[in-house]
Amino acid sequence: MKITTYIFACIASLSFNSCTSEKTIDTSVYMDINRPVEERVEALLKQMTLTEKIGQMDMVSEWDKDAIIKNGYYDFGAWIAGMEPEETNKIQALSEKTRLKIPYLIGMDAAHGYGTLSGRTIFPTSISMAATFNRNLVKKAAKTAAGEIRSAGTHWTFAPCVDIVYDARWGRTGETYGEDPYLSSELVKQAIRGLQENADPQKRVAASMKHLAAGGASVGGVNHASADISERSLRSYILPPFKAGIEAGCMTIMPGHNDIGGIPAHASKWLLTDIVKNEFGFKGFYVSDMMDMDNLKTLHFTAENQKDALRQSVNAGMDMHMYSPDTTQFIVPLTQLVQEGIVPIKRIDDAVRRILKIKFELGLFENRYIDPDKDIYATAENRSLSLEAARECIVLLKNENNLLPIDVQKYKRILVTGPNADNQSILGDWSFFQPDSNVTTVLKGIREVAPGIEVVYSNSGRIKAKISKEKTNTTDPALQKQLLTEGGGISDYSISDAVTKAKSCDLVVVVIGGYGIRSDWGLRTYGESADRPSIDFYGRQVELVQALQKTGKPVVAVIVNGKPLNNEWISQNIPSIIDIWEPGMYGGKALAEILFGQVNPSGKLPITIPKNVGQIPMYYYQSSSRYWTGYGLGSSRSDDQPAYCFGHGLSYTTFEYSDLKLDTVFSLKEDIQLSFKVKNTGNRTGKETPLLFVHDCVSSVVTPVALLKEFTKVELEAGEEKTVHFTVPSSNLGLWNTEMKYTVEPGKFIFKIGRSFNDIRLEQDIFIQ
Ligand code: BGC
């Protein structure tokens, strides 16, 4: 007998020996929809064998489907599977072959629409949604995505990612809401509500906040690497979005790949149980990140073997294992650990209760299948929401002499070029290729929107060549030309073609950046496991832009990317620069509308863009000591300025701030209320996002130079003025003191209101006593 078959036989006998026969299963309580979930959970739990319980804690994957069916053992809790409804139903049917017929939870990463399936609505990614600074839009997009996820038969998405990013080298920056704890907290709440809140349980999608914690502060910006971060920083900046998400009812959390101060997140009882479950009151369950319980043995080397890795992680508080190819990986060793008294049965019961609770809350016991005819997606309404979000996430970084919007009377023939001009990079990470008809690339968008001008295109080749370096390096122009259609990189040929065409045009739009499409794994320049030791543009992109600028034609640089990129030559020499992030399926259309002035840009940076890699970490809320000293010979603080600061984002109109009304003395328990006026002083409608930063002047521990405490987004017609009201509870001005207790210290605080961290328009001191 093969060893795996033997193990399956043992497991099967273990299950059936220790339980009662099928006839004695009492479904009267746990299948009664009118009973409270807790009662249903208990009624089911008490009928489960140890192996069935441990099975609920394990996930299997669609990649092992055939082997699982061959083995005939189906008592697992969940599947990682991104499939069309018919296939999902087939997987789900396997749950009915088990004794208790507990439905499977089916989960997949659908971070901004169900991008790993074909034809769904693809929204801007999280970093892009963060650039909208628009809470409602985040919630609406999440709710719409949830409709498409659930109607495909998937119940659970491994999103939102709420890592706070300190290091722009980290490839996964685009999956997050950026660097700011308050912005991230506000947006994660909306994303969770959008996914989970629905009166009909059959329409809810369980969210999974990730990655707990500090992956965005890992050494060198390397995914999986250690985060050596203090408890104070963790509590002050990294954990608040998780706490906010828990308060919004987040059903599951995924810990990070990394260790914190030497303790892998998946084995940190302090983090998983003491802080998040006990202190924050997290009632959902933890799902491991991909093989990260196992990684205690294979990556972190804190466990000698698989059994010990499971002991550490389950005892630390982990509830579900992602994922097992068969029962030997998790079910067998964990069963032994319980039988040996090393993992307490109480811990197992706690994990299973948490998992079952979510299955009941999602209505899976009532209906585990999905009607493929009801799998409705990419409706006109859903698509238009994606376009609306794309319009708001685009950030105008620079616009010398108001080159934008493009004056079509003056610039009648436009060259569109650059490696991201006509590809699906706009869809961003966690998206596979989509049907061309569902994607408006930049070139397509410009052609659709440009009013009566001539659009010329030059194919620049890919950011990273698909074909071998030797072949790409050919000096034969004919071969270089041919290679472009086969996936070649930027070449001498493509540069000279772009330059020749630019000379015959009035203006150039060059689309550069990064490439993050999931299904093109090896060709990505950012994304998961695509970290780079640089924030400069990959490959020959700068050379291409320089050659175009030399033609003397005005150049507009458009950046498509999921993380900060900067090249100082480009920032200094190119008159107009637009960061469109990863704007989703209609990114090209939204950009074109902005280029030609049909839409006024309103996105702002949710993350600082450093000038160069050496400045990292460069998030805005540095300590005063870094802020006032900075790099530089002769200590010039200007040498430590970023290329573009947090909150930066230009508009085609101008805004004036005035009339700050704010009392000066507040008690420790009071809400601080303030108001001010914002006026659109230009000649076109625009949306503005006023930001309120607060600086604590003297504190018992070092506090940052400022922290965002409130923001809103207002639309103003030309000449219109609105009064903005903010309320900041005094309790939000606290710090983690020397005893590691959260406390608000009386004293002076400076309230600063403005367009960005470096563009403060109103300022006033207040005193807390
Ligand atoms: C990633 C997670 C993701 C999981 C499942 C891992 O490699 O780190 O963010 O949810 O895979 O796809």
Residue 575 maps to which CATH number? 3.40.50.1700
- Cβ neighbours of residue 719 under 8 Å, at least 6 residues apart? 679, 680, 681
Does residue 629 carry a pLDDT above 80?
no
Shared domain for 178 and 269, answered yes or no, is: yes
Q: Whose CA is nearest to atom 6 of ligand 1?
A: 290
Q: Whose CA is nearest to atom 2 of ligand 1?
A: 289
Query: CATH number for the domain including 735?
Result: 2.60.40.10
> Which residue has better confidence, 16 or 120?
120
Query: CATH number for the domain including 67?
Result: 3.20.20.300
For residue 59, report the distance from its CA to the centre of ligand 1, in Å: 13
Atom number, ligand 1, closest to the C-alpha of residue 208? 10
Shared domain for 360 and 284, answered yes or no, is: yes
Domain count, the chain: 3
**In DSSP terms, which residues pair with 106 in a beta bridge?**
79
For residue 560, report the distance from its CA to the centre of ligand 1, in Å: 23
Strand 454-457 and strand 156-157: the pairing is unpaired
How much is the pLDDT for 472?
Answer: 66
Q: What is the DSSP letter of 744?
A: P
Inside any domain, residue 428: yes
pLDDT in tens, 89-140: 999 999 999 999 999 999 999 999 999 999 999 999 999 999 999 999 999 9
Shared domain for 59 and 109, answered yes or no, is: yes
Tokens at residue 723, please? Answer: 């009064």
Angle between helices 587-595 and 442-449 (to 10 degrees): 50
For residue 290, report the distance from its CA to the centre of ligand 1, in Å: 6
Shared domain for 311 and 355, answered yes or no, is: yes
| Domain stops at, among 315, 340, 374 | 374
Q: Mean pLDDT score of the chain, rounded to an integer? A: 95
Shared domain for 598 and 685, answered yes or no, is: no
What are the DSSP calls for 437-486, one per residue?
A: GG---HHHHHHHHS-S-EEEE----BSS-SS-HHHHT---HHHHHHHHHH
CB-CB contact of 183 with 229 (8 Å): no
What are the DSSP calls for 691-740, one per residue?
A: EEEEEESS-SS--BS-EEEEE--EEE-TT-EEEEEEEEEGGGG-EE-TTS
Inside any domain, residue 480: no
Question: How many Cα atoms within 13 Å fall on the side-chain side of residue 544?
Answer: 34
Shared domain for 701 and 562, answered yes or no, is: no
CB-CB contact of 318 with 288 (8 Å): yes
CB-CB contact of 416 with 455 (8 Å): yes
Shared domain for 278 and 405, answered yes or no, is: no
- Cβ neighbours of residue 439 under 8 Å, at least 6 residues apart? 122, 424, 426, 427, 585, 588
638 pLDDT tier (thresholds 50, 70, 90): low
Atom number, ligand 1, closest to the C-alpha of residue 159? 10
SS3 for 100-137 is: CCCCCEEEECCECECCCCCCCCCCCCHHHHHHHCCHHH
| Domain stops at, among 602, 626, 642 | 602
Sign of CA dihedral 298, 304, 307, 308: negative
- Of 506, 485, 484, the closest CA to residue 554 belongs to 506
Does residue 635 carry a pLDDT above 90?
no
Does residue 341 carry a pLDDT above 80?
yes
CB-CB contact of 585 with 157 (8 Å): no
Q: Whose CA is nearest to atom 11 of ligand 1?
A: 290
For residue 86, report the distance from its CA to the centre of ligand 1, in Å: 24
- Of 624, 658, 662, the closest CA to residue 751 belongs to 662
- Of 40, 29, 27, 33, the closest CA to residue 357 belongs to 40
pLDDT in tens, 495-514: 999 999 999 999 999 999 99
Neighbours of 375 (CB within 10 A): 18
Inside any domain, residue 23: no
Task: Tell me the three state secondary structure of residue 203.
Answer: helix
Burial letters 451-470, b for 16+ CB under 10 A, else e: eebebebbbbbbbbbeeeee
Does residue 463 carry a pLDDT above 90?
yes
CB-CB contact of 196 with 204 (8 Å): yes
Shared domain for 365 and 398, answered yes or no, is: no
Shared domain for 143 and 209, answered yes or no, is: yes
Q: Whose CA is nearest to atom 10 of ligand 1?
A: 158
Pocket test of ligand 1: the residue of 59, 211, 290 to mutate, having most ligand atoms within 8 Å of its CB, is 290
Cα-based distances in Å from 285 to 208, 276, 355: 9, 11, 6
> Which residue has better confidence, 8 or 58?
58
CB distance 210 to ligand 1 below 6 Å = yes
Inside any domain, residue 29: no
How much is the pLDDT for 633?
Answer: 58
Q: What is the DSSP letter of 514?
A: -
Pocket test of ligand 1: the residue of 116, 149, 158 to mutate, having most ligand atoms within 8 Å of its CB, is 158
How much is the pLDDT for 719?
Answer: 98
470 pLDDT tier (thresholds 50, 70, 90): low
Task: For residues 610 and 306, give the distance between their C-alpha atoms in angstroms, rounded to a whole number.
Answer: 42
Inside any domain, residue 385: no
Chain-centre distance of CA 245, in angstroms? 14
For residue 471, report the distance from its CA to the centre of ligand 1, in Å: 34
Residues found in the chain: 769
Sign of CA dihedral 44, 46, 48, 50: positive
Task: For residues 270 and 128, give the distance between their C-alpha atoms in angstroms, rounded to a whole number.
Answer: 33
**In DSSP terms, which residues pair with 672 in a beta bridge?**
728
Inside any domain, residue 473: no
Strand 252-255 and strand 59-61: the pairing is unpaired
CB distance 497 to ligand 1 below 6 Å = no
Chain-centre distance of CA 346, in angstroms? 34
For residue 291, report the distance from its CA to the centre of ligand 1, in Å: 9
Strand 555-560 and strand 576-581: the pairing is parallel
Task: Tell me the three state secondary structure of residue 204.
Answer: coil
Pocket test of ligand 1: the residue of 79, 108, 109, 266 to mutate, having most ligand atoms within 8 Å of its CB, is 109
CB distance 158 to ligand 1 below 6 Å = yes
Strand 259-260 and strand 263-264: the pairing is antiparallel
Does residue 521 carry a pLDDT above 50?
yes
Torsion angles phi and psi, residue 732, rounded to 5: -85, 0
Task: For residues 266 and 296, give the distance between their C-alpha atoms in angstroms, rounded to a whole number.
Answer: 8
Shared domain for 340 and 400, answered yes or no, is: no
How much is the pLDDT for 9?
Answer: 41
Is 289 catalytic? The answer is: yes
Shared domain for 361 and 401, answered yes or no, is: no
CB distance 61 to ligand 1 below 6 Å = no
Does residue 302 carry a pLDDT above 50?
yes
7 pLDDT tier (thresholds 50, 70, 90): very low
Catalytic residue from among 58, 109, 289, 292: 289
Shared domain for 370 and 399, answered yes or no, is: no
- Of 109, 103, 174, 176, the closest CA to residue 145 belongs to 109
CB distance 179 to ligand 1 below 6 Å = no
User: Quick one: CA torsion of 226, 229, 235, 236, rounded to 10 degrees?
Assistant: -120
Does residue 17 carry a pLDDT above 70?
no
For residue 653, report the distance from its CA to the centre of ligand 1, in Å: 41
| Domain stops at, among 602, 632, 664 | 602
pLDDT in tens, 222-265: 999 999 999 999 999 999 999 999 999 999 999 999 999 999 99
Inside any domain, residue 320: yes
590 pLDDT tier (thresholds 50, 70, 90): very high
Strand 721-729 and strand 665-666: the pairing is unpaired
Phi-psi region of 461 (alpha: psi -120 to 50; beta: other; left: phi over 0): left
Does residue 10 carry a pLDDT above 80?
no
Q: Whose CA is nearest to atom 7 of ligand 1?
A: 290
Domain coverage including residue 562: 394-465+489-602
Does residue 14 carry a pLDDT above 50?
no
Inside any domain, residue 421: yes
